[in-house]
Amino acid sequence: MKPAPGAGFIYQITNRRLQFNNSTLRLFLCYLPMLWLGSRLNGIPGLMTGALVGNLLAGIIAWQLYRAGMARLSAKSRQEPGEITARNAG
């Protein structure tokens, strides 16, 4: 089955939007709050510690989202094995 004309363009726009959303979430949910908290607790050294903790937190969240997405793809491929082999057969 061929993709619809322009589907690549739509995918690129959607993918960019998802990347922007992920960056925005990382910034406002992980990084900036930890910077603020670290600076309030211990000044400049706390600011650096807050940056470290914020980035670690963002990494942990990204890893969990990645694992959940891969589990979904794996479950989907197990449900439709005939369709996958039919596509590969040409």
pLDDT tens readout for residues 48-63: 999 999 999 999 988 8
Q: Are the C-beta atoms of residues 77 and 84 closer than 8 Å to each other? A: yes
What would the pLDDT profile of 19-47 be if each residue is shown by its tens digit? 667 778 788 888 999 999 999 999 999 99
Supply the pTM of this predicted model: 0.61
Query: What value does the mean pLDDT of the chain take?
Result: 77
Q: How confident is the model at residue 1 (pLDDT cuts 50, 70, 90)?
A: very low
Q: Which two tokens stand for residue 57?
A: 């937190």
